[in-house]
């Protein structure tokens, strides 16, 4: 049987709030296997031991979803604008509103529901950064962009402020092809990284990244990084802010990504004095819950305490 057309799928994806949709054949990621193994052996995942688990499933979606035939990759815009002026502490843009895992997955389920009316009975699973799925690799394979020197997925003329989601399905769909790399000779992200985490083009040492220190690391942040965080207390957008392609980023239109009023104008002292009650009020359904109250307070103290 010939693969099914994806024209209607892509129309439905736009209807349900996604910016772009691409398709790949569900197969073993042969080129990625040695790269992932080398990255893990060199300890570039730091204390993120979950990266070591399910190695085979990360590389073959058919092991994750039995009967899988197609991987549908989708991009969801989260860019809220560049206005950081007047903010004494910085939170990565993806975390300003409600947790993207919940928001994007809600859109995915509605899309899958509509797809069943076009393609009939569909079996599979949906993912939003929540399982051993190499989302950037699949998005690249399906032509949604290229993986840049900062290891973010970048779209020509649009940038990288997108969440990536997947549907791994048991139906044959027409596969798209990859696009070319447009980083060229630019090294802006490498030059700007405050902690030198981009150790070479297309390779990030996760154990040196501000996002790792402020979100994933549960122990004390090493003193050797004092003075290097540039006021980032949850995540970091530096390598995206300096990327020339992000000059073309367009604003998202998802109401659930709007921040709760109040916290974005907090002073340094306001962050330091934040109570658990205020944290829960502002960040109840936020990605900041991953760091938790104690983790956020640790980050604020690390950034604001004198060297």
Q: Taking Cα atoms as reference points, which of 238, 174, 199, 239 lies closest to residue 24?
A: 174
Type and span of the H or E element at 164 = strand 162-169
User: Which residue among the candidates 60, 106, 114, 129 is catalytic per the annotation?
Assistant: 129
Q: How far apart are CA 226 and CA 224, in angstroms?
A: 6
Instruction: Establish whether 280 is a catalytic residue.
Output: no
Are 119 and 4 a contacting pair, CB within 8 Å?
yes
Are 232 and 90 a contacting pair, CB within 8 Å?
yes
- Give the ranges where the chain is alpha helix by DSSP (H): 7-15, 32-41, 55-59, 61-64, 100-119, 135-141, 188-192, 210-211, 238-241, 268-272, 276-283, 292-304
HSE at residue 235, side-chain half, CA atoms within 13 A, is 14
Are 164 and 96 a contacting pair, CB within 8 Å?
no
Q: Is 141 exposed, middle or buried (CB count within 10 Å of its CB: 0-12, 13-18, 19+)?
A: buried
Buried b (16+ CB within 10 A) or exposed e, 238-262: bbbebbebbeebeebebeebebeee
* DSSP characters over 128-139: SS-SS--HHHHH
Are 32 and 59 a contacting pair, CB within 8 Å?
yes
The catalytic site residues sit at: 129
């Amino acid at each position: 049987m010939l693969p099914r057309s994806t024209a209607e799928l892509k129309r439905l994806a736009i209807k349900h709030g996604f910016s772009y949709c691409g398709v790949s054949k569900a197969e073993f990621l042969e080129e990625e296997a040695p790269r992932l193994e080398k990255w893990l052996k060199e300890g570039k995942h730091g204390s993120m031991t979950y990266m070591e688990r399910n190695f085979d499933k990360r590389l073959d979606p058919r092991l994750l979803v039995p009967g899988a035939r197609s991987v549908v990759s989708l991009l969801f815009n989260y860019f809220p604008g560049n206005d950081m002026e007047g903010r004494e502490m910085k939170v990565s843009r993806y975390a300003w509103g409600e947790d993207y895992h919940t928001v994007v997955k809600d859109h995915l389920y509605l899309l899958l529901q509509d797809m069943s009316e076009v393609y009939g009975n569909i079996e599979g699973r949906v993912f939003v950064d929540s399982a051993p799925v190499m989302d950037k690799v699949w998005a690249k394979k399906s032509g949604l962009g290229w993986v840049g020197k900062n290891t973010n997925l970048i779209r020509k003329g649009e940038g990288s402020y997108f969440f990536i989601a997947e549907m791994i399905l048991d139906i044959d769909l027409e596969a798209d092809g990859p696009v070319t790399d447009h980083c060229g000779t630019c090294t802006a992200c490498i030059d700007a990284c405050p902690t030198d985490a981009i150790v070479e083009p297309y390779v990030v040492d996760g154990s040196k990244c501000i996002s790792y220190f402020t979100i994933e690391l549960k122990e004390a942040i090493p003193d050797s990084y004092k003075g290097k965080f540039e006021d980032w207390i949850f995540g970091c957008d530096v390598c995206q802010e300096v990327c020339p392609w992000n000059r073309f980023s367009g604003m998202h239109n998802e109401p659930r990504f709007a921040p709760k009023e109040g916290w974005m104008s907090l002073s340094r002292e306001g962050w330091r004095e934040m109570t658990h009650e205020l944290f829960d009020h502002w960040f109840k359904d936020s990605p900041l819950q991953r760091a938790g109250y104690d983790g956020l307070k640790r980050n604020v103290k690390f950034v604001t305490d004198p060297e």
